[in-house]
Amino acid sequence: MSSKAETKRLALTPGEPAGIGPDLCVALAQQTQAVELVAVCDPDLLETRAKVLGLPLALEPFDPAGPPSPTAPGVLRVDAAARLATPGIPGELNPDNASYVLETLNAACAGCLNGRWEAMVTAPVHKGVINDAGLAFSGHTEFLAQRCAQLTASGRAEPAPEPLIEPVTEPVMEPVMLLSAPVLRVALATTHLPLSQVPNAITAPRLEHIIRVLTAGLQESFGIPRPRILVCGLNPHAGEGGHLGHEEQDVIIPLLERLRAEGLNLAGPMPADTVFVPPQLERADAVLAMYHDQGLPVLKHLGFGQAVNVTLGLPIVRTSVDHGTALDLAGSGRADAGSLRAAIALAAEIVTKKP
């Protein structure tokens, strides 16, 4: 692995082959990067998409033995760790390629664990088509937690295809999803859960784990010595003293009081309809939302296209875009690479700050 002074070597997974991920990879390859990007994918996908977009692209096989170095404009290094089952056609989902998508994530994850890459950056995947293929998949965050746990427990970090065709079980590691934009950071206590399942998931052990991982992540990855975290309530008006729900009284308040007594800088539980107002955010390093659509609509309203999804609590560095596959834009040349560019920059920054 490179030293802190050297060029950072990052794995880049293009995600759903029918979406805009391949477009974004081709577009970024047109510019000089401050890092060495290695696309973990089928090279035919990028060559074909470059032709569709009318952009020049020369692919170089990735050499793990060589020193990391930035590539020239119009050039991208590729690790052909997986091959498409059928050609990726812009805008046309095909379940036959679902295993391929997971294999690229598997290879990138293993490569980060064994030191081949210093971080992985992911373009968007399509959860629906992966599940349509019979592969239980709730998102990058959960999948990578499972793979890191499996590879760490086995004592090896080489891709293994077997777990890709089995149902995804509860990961041993429970990471934290943090969306970071220039004006706001929002972490999630629960991620891709149906709303009906959220109240039962708001337990004291889970919240304590989330808060500790978030605090450590803000310290280590963002260089904030004593981060101030605003914690949302689950219910309207943070439960209104128990009249609009009991989770605050029973779980959240006692936990926050205990953690504050340890010295953690926590405010709340705060009503979600007022926690995002400017005077509150000016005093905060992050907001902890109880569920996906409590916090992310505000984050994306304020920073869409510039926000980055950061996975905290894993033994690897992983960042991602703040948007989906945008099938209607695939192959059109109109996809905005801003979020992917920000994800690459933040991954390199986090790697530099890590001890």
CA–CA dist 337, 340 (Å, integer): 5
CA–CA–CA angle 212, 221, 300 (5° rounding) = 85
CA nearest neighbour of 186 among 53, 306, 310, 83: 310
Q: 48 labelled as ligand-binding?
A: no
Q: 51 labelled as ligand-binding?
A: no
| Token pair recorded at residue 314 | 């894993």
Contact status, residue 295 vs residue 218, Cβ threshold 8 Å: no
Q: Strands 58-61 and 318-320, how do they pair?
A: unpaired
Q: 235 labelled as ligand-binding?
A: no
DSSP state of 134: T
Q: 243 labelled as ligand-binding?
A: no
DSSP string, 243-310: TT-SHIIIIIHHHHHHHHHTT-EEEEEE-TTTTTSHHHHTT-SEEEESSHHHHHHHHHHHHTTT-EEE
Q: Which residues are annotated as part of the binding site?
A: 140-141, 192, 237, 292, 300, 309, 318
Q: Which residues are annotated as part of the binding site for substrate?
A: 140-141, 300, 309, 318
Q: Which residues are annotated as part of the binding site for a divalent metal cation?
A: 192, 237, 292
